[in-house]
């Protein structure tokens, strides 16, 4: 008797997410799981997709996002599903939408304004209430969420220019415990950013002290990614060791022209410490970073593009030098007039970016900023750019390795069970694409554009993106971190 699958994908070249060589086969999906992989030519499906030899891979996991609010305000998640992403890790860089047990300052304390300039979305008093909202109104993608230390500081402290007092640390610790109980996967910090710069290492260790008990992890936008990048790595490793949890070095880079080439040093140090503690890292495939606008950051960049401005929105997408010229003032003065604002900073070296991307243990994370008027193209383009530009065109790694860096490796590091892999019994999160054409379409000049070559994207067995558009399906789930079976 013919077995009927809900969805049958025929003639796929299967890249399974483990870094193993691709193989040909069919994939039978029933409900939210992959039921069979192999020669299914004698079976049929309620819906069938014939790939004609094109690629079926696990859905990509975006290891570094700021999608906390987009999950709710734009639940089709078009910037993500259009590039094949089926799961996002949110709450990074110390910035999470929850919890906010008291009114958020007005104007919203930067960099929390990256999530919402107006502040109206910061209305979840507990992490539990936020996750309940995500479950009640699911998005197209799955998510796993971190609680941000900068959010906790804004929620509990009145003066960010100093270390937290014992009672403030206690208040933050209680919020961490509540978040971890509710289903957060760990804590993120943004020690680079003004509201957290004054936090000493010991404060972070104390705020994170219960993470081990909850099997959480520690993700960090380090204090410094330029001249003091080595000190910052050592600080991050120390926090991981003292708290007793894995460390994720977010968007690893060496910034500023004076530090060109130093990824040789940083990767060697990371590799050395990996021998004695769990360290993970992610990277986005561009030489430009993006965050809030500041005159200091602009001064150490070779080019600056304004990505949004609350006071002068018409300047979004333009170079800061051109804006200063039009205003007939200095760059510093232009920055003052534009604030609060966001910017894209060119301050990395291509060879460093390639060296970090190529490093065995590097995951791909977009760090996309979904609410910017003229966002860094990483928001729409990171994953296809790694597959196309860096994989196919520059030959940085084989397709299987590129896929592994966005699926199997990421699922293992974040403890996302039965995700990031194509095998019988795993969740049916898949991306179907053409290896010969896949690439980003987004550019710095025109950053909002769905990628090329992505044919269909499936989340928990439901098609969320097909033929260049969202299908309207919203099968996303809130994922939790499961203890790793490996030792
Ligand atoms: Zn960051
Ligand atoms: Cu980030």
Dump pLDDT digits (tens) for 416-459: 999 999 999 999 999 999 999 999 999 999 999 999 999 999 99
Cβ(199)–Cβ(152) below 8 Å: no
Rounded Cα–Cα distance for residues 147 and 150 (Å):
9
In a domain? residue 476: no
Those residues of the chain that have pLDDT short of 70 are: 1-2, 484-487
Residue 29's CATH number: 2.30.40.10
Tokens of 441: 């379409």
Same domain (yes/no): 366, 456 = no
Buried b (16+ CB within 10 A) or exposed e, 81-97: bbbbbbbbbbbbbbbbb
Residue 2, pLDDT score: 62
Beta strands in 23-68 (DSSP E): 23-30, 33-38, 44-50, 55-58, 60-62
Same domain (yes/no): 215, 144 = yes
Same domain (yes/no): 51, 64 = no
Query: Is it true that the peptide bond before 111 is cis, omega within 30 degrees of 0?
Result: yes
In a domain? residue 475: no
Ligand 1 centre and the CA of 358: distance in Å? 20
Q: Which of 414, 438, 455 is the last residue of a domain?
A: 414
In a domain? residue 326: yes
Same domain (yes/no): 210, 110 = yes
Ligand 2 centre and the CA of 136: distance in Å? 26
Q: Return the sign of the alpha-carbon dihedral for residues 369, 370, 373, 377.
A: positive
Same domain (yes/no): 271, 220 = yes
What is the tally of structural domains in the chain?
A: 3
Same domain (yes/no): 253, 184 = yes
Same domain (yes/no): 104, 87 = yes
pTM recorded for the entire structure: 0.98
Q: State whether residue 145 is helix, strand or coil.
A: strand
Ligand nearest to the CA of 378: 2
Residue 485, pLDDT score: 54
In a domain? residue 485: no
Residue 335's CATH number: 3.30.1490.130
Sort 188 into a burial class: Cβ within 10 Å, 0-12 / 13-18 / 19+.
buried
Residue 122's CATH number: 3.20.20.140
Rounded Cα–Cα distance for residues 16 and 429 (Å):
11
Buried b (16+ CB within 10 A) or exposed e, 20-39: eebeebbbbbbebbbbbbee
H-assigned helices in 425-472:
none
In a domain? residue 481: no
In a domain? residue 65: yes
Rounded to 5°, angle at Cα 239 from 236 and 245:
105
In a domain? residue 232: yes
Same domain (yes/no): 93, 33 = no
Query: Is it true that the peptide bond before 219 is cis, omega within 30 degrees of 0?
Result: no
Residue 326, pLDDT score: 97
Tokens of 372: 């910017």
Same domain (yes/no): 270, 307 = no
Residue 449, pLDDT score: 98
In a domain? residue 254: yes
Rounded Cα–Cα distance for residues 349 and 203 (Å):
33
Query: Whole-angstrom distance between the N-terminal and C-terminal Cα of the chain?
Result: 44
Same domain (yes/no): 78, 108 = yes
Beta strands in 365-468 (DSSP E): 430-433, 454-459, 462-466
Ligand 1 centre and the CA of 220: distance in Å? 8
Residue 123, number of CB atoms within 10 A of its CB:
15
Tokens of 465: 């993106």
Ligand 2 centre and the CA of 381: distance in Å? 16
Rounded Cα–Cα distance for residues 276 and 270 (Å):
10
Same domain (yes/no): 369, 311 = no
Q: Which residue reads 């760990």 in tokens?
A: 186
Same domain (yes/no): 170, 218 = yes
Ligand 1 centre and the CA of 150: distance in Å? 12
Residue 166, pLDDT score: 98
Ligand nearest to the CA of 92: 2
Cβ(458)–Cβ(86) below 8 Å: yes
Q: What range does the domain containing 362 cover?
A: 60-290+347-414
Residue 484, pLDDT score: 62
Rounded Cα–Cα distance for residues 316 and 223 (Å):
28
Ligand nearest to the CA of 192: 1
Q: Which of 321, 346, 371 is the last residue of a domain?
A: 346
Residue 35 main-chain phi, psi, to 5 deg: -95, -40
Ligand nearest to the CA of 220: 1
């Amino acid at each position: 008797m013919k077995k009927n699958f809900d969805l049958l994908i025929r003639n796929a070249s299967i890249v399974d997410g483990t870094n193993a060589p691709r193989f040909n086969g069919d994939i039978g999906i029933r409900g939210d799981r992959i039921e069979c992989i192999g020669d299914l030519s004698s079976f049929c499906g309620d819906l069938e997709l014939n790939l004609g030899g094109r690629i079926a891979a696990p859905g990509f996991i975006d290891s570094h996002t700021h999608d906390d609010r987009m999950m709710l305000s734009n639940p089709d998640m078009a910037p993500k599903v259009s590039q094949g992403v089926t799961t996002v890790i949110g709450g990074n860089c110390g910035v999470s939408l929850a919890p906010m047990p008291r009114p958020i300052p007005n104007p919203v304390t930067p960099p929390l304004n990256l999530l919402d300039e107006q502040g109206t979305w910061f209305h979840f008093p507990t992490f539990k209430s936020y996750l309940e909202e995500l479950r009640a109104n699911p998005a197209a993608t799955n998510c796993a969420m971190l609680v941000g230390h900068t959010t906790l500081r804004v929620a509990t402290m009145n003066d960010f220019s100093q270390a937290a007092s014992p009672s403030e640390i206690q208040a933050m610790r209680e919020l961490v415990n509540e978040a971890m109980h509710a289903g957060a996967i760990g804590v993120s910090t943004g020690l680079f950013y003004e509201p957290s710069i004054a936090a000493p290492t010991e404060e972070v260790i104390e705020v994170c002290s219960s993470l081990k008990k909850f099997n959480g992890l520690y993700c960090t936008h380090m204090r410094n990614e330029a001249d003091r990048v080595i000190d910052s790595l050592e600080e991050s490793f120390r926090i991981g060791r003292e708290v007793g949890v894995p460390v994720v070095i977010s968007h690893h880079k060496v910034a500023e022209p004076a530090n060109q080439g130093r990824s040789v040093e940083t990767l060697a140090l990371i590799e050395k410490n990996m021998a004695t503690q769990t360290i993970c890292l992610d990277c986005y495939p561009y030489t430009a970073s993006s965050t809030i606008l500041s005159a200091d950051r602009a001064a150490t960049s070779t080019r600056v593009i304004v990505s949004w401005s609350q006071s002068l929105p018409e300047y979004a997408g333009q170079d800061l030098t051109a804006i200063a010229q039009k205003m007939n003032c200095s760059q510093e003065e232009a920055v003052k007039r534009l604030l609060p604002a966001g910017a894209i900073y060119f301050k990395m070296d291509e060879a460093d970016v390639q060296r970090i991307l190529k490093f065995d243990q590097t995951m791909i994370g977009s760090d996309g900023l979904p609410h910017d008027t003229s966002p860094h193209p990483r928001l729409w383009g990171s994953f296809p750019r790694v597959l196309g530009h860096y994989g196919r065109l520059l030959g940085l790694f084989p397709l299987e390795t590129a896929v592994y860096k966005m699926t199997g490796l990421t699922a293992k590091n974040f403890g996302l069970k039965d995700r990031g892999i194509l095998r019988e019994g795993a969740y049916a999160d898949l991306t179907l694409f053409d290896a010969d054409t896949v690439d980003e379409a987004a550019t710095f000049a025109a950053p909002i554009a769905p990628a090329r070559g992505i044919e269909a994207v499936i989340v928990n067995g439901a098609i969320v993106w097909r033929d260049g558009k969202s299908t309207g399906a919203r099968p996303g789930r809130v994922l939790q971190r499961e203890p790793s079976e490996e030792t």
